[in-house]
Structure 1
Amino acid sequence: MAAIKKEVIASAPDYWAEACKHLIKKDRVLRRLIPQVGDVALYQRGDAFTTLARSIVGQQVSVASAQRVWDRLAALPRSMTPRSVLKLKVDDMRAAGLSARKVEYLVDLALHFDSGQLHVKQWNQMDDPAIVAELVAIRGISRWTADMFLIFHLARPNVLPLDDATLIQGISQHYFSGDPVSRSDAREVAQAWNPWCSVASWYIWRSLAPLPVDY
């Protein structure tokens, strides 16, 4: 009989409504997109390890593909904890759809958590650059992954994930009629989003994907 997994109750950040009001006022594209998306929001995940693991799984693949692989991976252990992941067989993780490199990254992440090397209890008091510096020192954690962690776990409101291809695609589609977009172009667009770049990014993602972005 399959083990019953405890579901973590998630909630939207308390600044969400204020951010949406600001973005609708300041940005012509988001004035249209936010009402179209409807009554949904980014939901903050309560478990740091799971959030980082999901981000590793989602590297360089579509949102839908990442969700399928995650669902298969999450069904393997009784609970998604660092110690449980360290007990998984490599062949089973590969069969779930992970590349050999992503298996190595997940194992290294689990080792960092299990050994107590990370300042998990201090993250809420640390600023964004300090957290990014700590995370990118872990094998397999890129700046993209660190940005996803800031947005989806710590719910930091003003993260602009310029390494995210889907965000750049969305900015190209909505602001530049599909023409190529540089990082400078994206930063210029995002000037109107401050101090709510995380919220704006989420709506750009949501406009391109049939499922809410969830890392």
Structure 2
Amino acid sequence: MKPKYWNKGKEFLSKKDKVLKSIIDTFPNEHLLLNTNYYHSLINSIIGQQISVGAASSVRKKFFTLSRNITPNNVLKIKDTSMKKCGLSRQKTLYIKNISHFFIYKKNFIKNITSFSEIEIINNLISIKGVGQWTAHMFLIFSIG
């Protein structure tokens, strides 16, 4: 799904930068794809915090092989030592488990997330220990659009 801000963003960037305009004109049908698996999106944000893209990719691959189906309930069953072997710190393990609890106990919020204002979404997300303003804003951009 294309983000709702995409066309307006392309228009703005095209007016401000000739090089970007040329690239945008060369690829008129390309757009960012939203990650609508909100749980995975937040986990990916935690994994990628304060490490290189390459390191995050390696950790992510290992983490997503810990269970055939990475869901909040399944992640809570994974031992911390297994998560550490993937390259996750104790803090990131805790944050991912906090996100898992949030998704279990706030099912109605997640189910209806697109009906909430950006401020309501941010306030709910930053109530999770380990999710800050930056992560909440990136979630809005790359998952809600």
Same fold, TM-score > 0.5, yes or no: yes
State the distance in 2 between where 1:77 and 1:129 align. 33
2:77: which partner in 1?
87
Q: Output one character per residue of 1:38-82: Cα deviation in whole Å (capped at 9) or x when no partner.
A: 745321012111111111111112222212211110111111110
1:121 and 2:108 correspond: no
Residue type of the partner of 2:40?
T
State the distance in 2 between where 1:53 and 1:144 align. 14
Relative contact order, higher structure (CA 8 A, sep 6+) = 2
Q: TM-score, normalised by structure 2?
A: 0.86
* Structure 1: unaligned runs, 5 residues or longer: 1-10, 156-215
State the distance in 2 between where 1:139 and 1:125 align. 23
TM-aligned CA deviation for residue 118 of structure 1: 6.2
2:90: which partner in 1?
100
Aligned runs of 1:139-158 on 2, under 5 Å? 139-155=129-145
1:76 and 2:66 correspond: yes
Q: Output one character per residue of 1:167-198: Cα deviation in whole Å (capped at 9) or x when no partner.
A: xxxxxxxxxxxxxxxxxxxxxxxxxxxxxxxx
Match of 2:41 among 51, 75, 78: 51
2:52: which partner in 1?
62
Aligned runs of 1:141-180 on 2, under 5 Å? 141-155=131-145
Conserved? CA contact 1:51–1:149, under 8 Å: yes
Query: Quick check: which one's helix share is greater?
Result: 2
2:102: which partner in 1?
112
User: Aligned to 2:144, what secondary structure does the other structure show?
Assistant: coil
* Structure 2: unaligned runs, 5 residues or longer: none
State the distance in 2 between where 1:50 and 1:152 align. 12
Residue type of the partner of 1:74?
F
Distance 1:90 1:50, change over 3 A: same
Distance 1:14 1:127, change over 3 A: closer
TM-aligned CA deviation for residue 101 of structure 1: 0.4
Aligned pairs, number: 141
CA RMSD, 1 decimal: 2.0
Percentage of identical aligned residues: 32
State the distance in 1 between where 2:43 and 2:144 align. 15
